[in-house]
Structure 1
Amino acid sequence: MRPVNDIFGCNRGSPPNFRADIKAALGELVGMAIFLFLALSGVQGGLEAPNSDPSGQGPNPTQILIIAFSFGVGIAVALFICGAVSGGILNPAVLLSLMITGNINWLRGILFFIAEMAGGILGAYFSNFVTANQLQGVNLLSPGFNYAQGFFAECLLTMTLCLTVLFIIVDKHLLADFAPFVVGSSVFICHIIGAPIDGTSINPARSFAASVVTGKWTNQWIFWFGPLTGGIFAVLIYLGVKVLTEESQEKALLQQAQNQAILENTKTAPTNPNSIAPNPNYNNISNNADNFHNINNV
């Protein structure tokens, strides 16, 4: 894997490189198109599986598993393909969290957002074409769930995904070299949880692209405000943990320095009473004391 600072735009404080930004944005566009083509096509196959739900209004466990697997593996494959070019962010909510934390400059962030939206629409159209204009997978609230439940589900699930990226990849965790698998696993479990609620968005570009192709826009705001709010919450948690961690590290370093100083003093201090050097003024002090005693006796 490339260094994290290279993957996520540019080193902090370095001037933007417009040519490199355009190249990375094109990689993001291609990656997003591949991701949604694979994921939405997988959803199509999953929803065509027999439905064991007596009401016929919700996916059964097998369908949920197929949908989650399609998105989890789809994002992993896309990351392997475009990760060397753009880093494979492939999500406006994750992009927002990286921009706020300063891991991506704002120029590149804007270009990435445009690329993700365009790539998502392109991938959705490809999926719609190969499925004979029968694209499914539009995010809609399932019967029995209200707006608040849908919003908070999207918010919390997206927050989980963004925290995965921030703590594992940005902080160069040992698992950062396996970023496609880590992100894919996070996306997989998020879809297992969210699919029965609203089909799971956690990605505004994914929801927008499917709605553009199908013309279905019901409750679209949930799939924008929910994930973007989750991305902001993830940043707050991430920065809060970083502050607490830095304070703990400073205290640990201070304590270590104090212990080292005590250890050095202990090593240099004499431990044998016989090794203590005699005071050169001891005899003078003794003579003065004797003289003082004799004067008092006069």
Structure 2
Amino acid sequence: MPSWIHQRRGDVVNNTAPRNMSTTSSTPIIQDLAARIRGQPGGNTAPIFRSEKGQLPMLHVPHTFQNNFVAVVGEFVGTFMFLFFAFAGGQVSNTPKPAEGAPPNTSNLLYLSLSFGFSLLVNVWTFYRVTGGLFNPVVTLALCLCGGMHPVRGVLVFASQIIAGIAAAGVVSCLFPGPLSVGTRLGGGTSISQGLFIEMFLTAHLVFVVIMLAVVKQKSTFLAPVGIGLVLFVNQLVGLYTRIVYINTHTHTHTHTCMLTVRLGTYYTGCALNPARALGPDVINRSFPGYHWIYWVGPLLGSLLASGFYGFLSIFHYETVNPGQDFNQWEAAAGPGPWHEVVNEHSGAPNHSHLPGDQPTLHQDNAANTGSDSGPADKEYGNEQV
């Protein structure tokens, strides 16, 4: 066993452990690792992550080919899995019943919304530790705008998500009988301008939830996939309605019903909220409506709207309006008011105007997985202080 481990154990037993180590713990290796992650004195080697003011945790990861490759592969697989199960649920819900020849209505809508919402929930939770679980090009754009992702990685992940959407639609088309019926179309008298703004506002809602639950680190961040999946479910209920269009054809000898076209989301927009989700089925079906562009421009505008609103809140220090929600010891000691000033005072940092996304809650090195925030001096990991 390395000598430095014995030395650390001796420090703990003799109650001479450095400030960044707990005297009640018997796991000095973990404590040393925590010290290295935070970059505090007492770690055996250089910090794993370096906290820089105004940066989000994802920027602490070294910008290397290996990390970018893992991010691209992870986002491809995650986006594929999310859209595969969502498309498969839509295909099943749009398959006519053999007896009546028509799908249900409200139950059909609920089934399809659950397919998309819970598919996103499960796969975001699965890939959250790998890539962040974005699965949406406009969410990737929002992270780049908020400083949560390097632009180069953002471009690579953006392309990976688009390709994954096409691949997921292709696999569903091959596995399930009948035509692929998960494309997005306007309907119910919805104009192109109305469809554009519906896509924009629903996407803004989705992206803002992602920013506040997943990008801004807090004690509830580990539950972010639940909120992200539920907000997609709610938006699907608002923006999506499904129907299958039939036409009666008459011949000289008999009358029968044949399916003319199968369309998803005909009453409003289909609730794409995701260019990869809208593009994939249209590529496989080789059918692009003249207004396909709204499924790109609308979500992109929604991403800009959500990012801009988050930047607006950050400029005015939204965390001081309702402090104490994460209830750290250092936040509680500061009492009501602008506790970010107390953090700067204790940390020795100058009290200057924060940039968008530069709050104390963002100065965490992946603390969300432990359910704790970093304070001015000590940091809690579970019930231990390191």
- TM-score category by the smaller chain? 0.7 to 0.9
> Counterpart of 1:186 in 2: which secondary structure?
helix
Partner of 2:200 in structure 1? 155
Instruction: Tell whether the 8 Å contact from 1:202 to 1:223 is kept in structure 2 after alignment.
Output: yes
| Cα separation, 1, equivalents of 2:135 and 2:319 | 34
Distance of aligned partners of 1:9 and 1:168 in 2 relative to their CA distance in 1, 3 Å threshold: closer
Aligned twin of 1:87:
132
Q: CA deviation at 1:104?
A: 0.3
Change (3 A) 1:247 1:82: closer
Matched, 1:208 2:279: yes
Say if 2:166 is the partner of 1:121: yes
Q: Which residue number corresponds to residue 262 of structure 2?
A: none
Distance in 1 between residues matched to 2:123 and 2:178, nearest whole Å: 23
Q: Is the 8 A contact 1:138 1:216 kept in 2?
A: no
Max Rg structure: 1
Change (3 A) 1:126 1:68: same
Q: 1:41 aligns with which of 80, 88, 99?
A: 88
Q: Is the 8 A contact 1:9 1:105 kept in 2?
A: no
Alpha carbons of 1:170 and 1:118: their partners in 2 closer, same or farther (altered >3 Å)? same
| Unaligned segments of structure 1, at least 5 residues | 51-55, 258-298
C-alpha distance in structure 2 between counterparts of 1:39 and 1:175, whole Å:
26
Q: Counterpart of 2:337 in 1: which secondary structure? A: helix
Task: Name the TM-score, length of structure 1 as normaliser.
Answer: 0.75
Structure 1 consecutive aligned stretches of length 4 or more whose deviation exceeds 6 Å: none
Distance 1:49 1:160, change over 3 A: farther
Distance 1:77 1:248, change over 3 A: closer
One-letter code aligned to 1:25: V
1:244 to 298, 307, 316: 316
Name which of 25, 48, 56 aligns with 2:72: 25
Separation in structure 1 between the aligned mates of residue 306 and residue 104 of structure 2, nearest angstrom: 29
Q: 1:157 to 1:253 in 2, by over 3 A?
A: closer
Query: Match for residue 66 of structure 1?
Result: 111
Contact 2:56–2:147 (CA under 8 A) maintained in structure 1: no
Report the Cα distance in structure 2 between the residues aligned to 1:101 and 1:167, rounded to whole angstroms: 11
1:1-298 → structure 2 map (5 Å cutoff): 11-12=58-59, 15-48=62-95, 60-132=105-177, 134-196=179-241, 197-218=268-289, 219-245=291-317, 248=320, 252-253=337-338
Give the Cα–Cα distance (whole angstroms) in 1 for the partners of residues 63 and 56 of structure 2. 9
Q: Which whole-Å CA distance do the structure 2 matches of 1:246 and 1:195 have between them?
A: 33
Q: Structure 1 161/253 Cα, relative in aligned 2: closer, same or farther at 3 Å?
A: closer
Contact in 2 for aligned 1:167/1:173 (Cα 8 Å): no
Q: How many residues get paired?
A: 246
Which of the two has greater strand per residue? Answer: 2
8 A contact 1:201–1:223 mirrored in 2: yes
Higher relative contact order (CA 8 A, sep 6+): 1
Identity rate of aligned residues, in percent? 28
Distance 1:234 1:113, change over 3 A: same
For 1:130 and 1:9, how far apart are their aligned partners in 2?
41
What amino acid maps onto 1:229 in structure 2? L
Distance 1:10 1:19 in 2: 18
Give the alignment's TM-score, normalised by structure 2. 0.59
| Matched residue type, 1:200 | C
Question: How many Å apart are 1:171 and its aligned residue?
Answer: 1.2
- Deviation, structure 1 residue 245: 2.1
Determine if contact 1:164/1:183 at 8 Å carries over to the other structure.
yes
- Which one-letter code corresponds to 1:150 in the other structure? G
The answer on whether the counterparts of 2:56 and 2:148 sit within 8 Å (CA) in structure 1 is yes
Please tell me whether the aligned partners of residues 141 and 303 of structure 2 are also in contact (alpha carbons under 8 angstroms). yes
The structure where helix makes up a greater share of residues is: 1
Amino acid in the other structure paired with 2:315: V
Q: Cα RMSD over matched residues?
A: 2.8
Deviation at 1:81, TM superposition (A): 3.0
Q: After alignment, is 11-20 or 210-219 more displaced? A: 11-20
State the Cα distance separating 1:180 from its structure 2 match.
Answer: 1.8
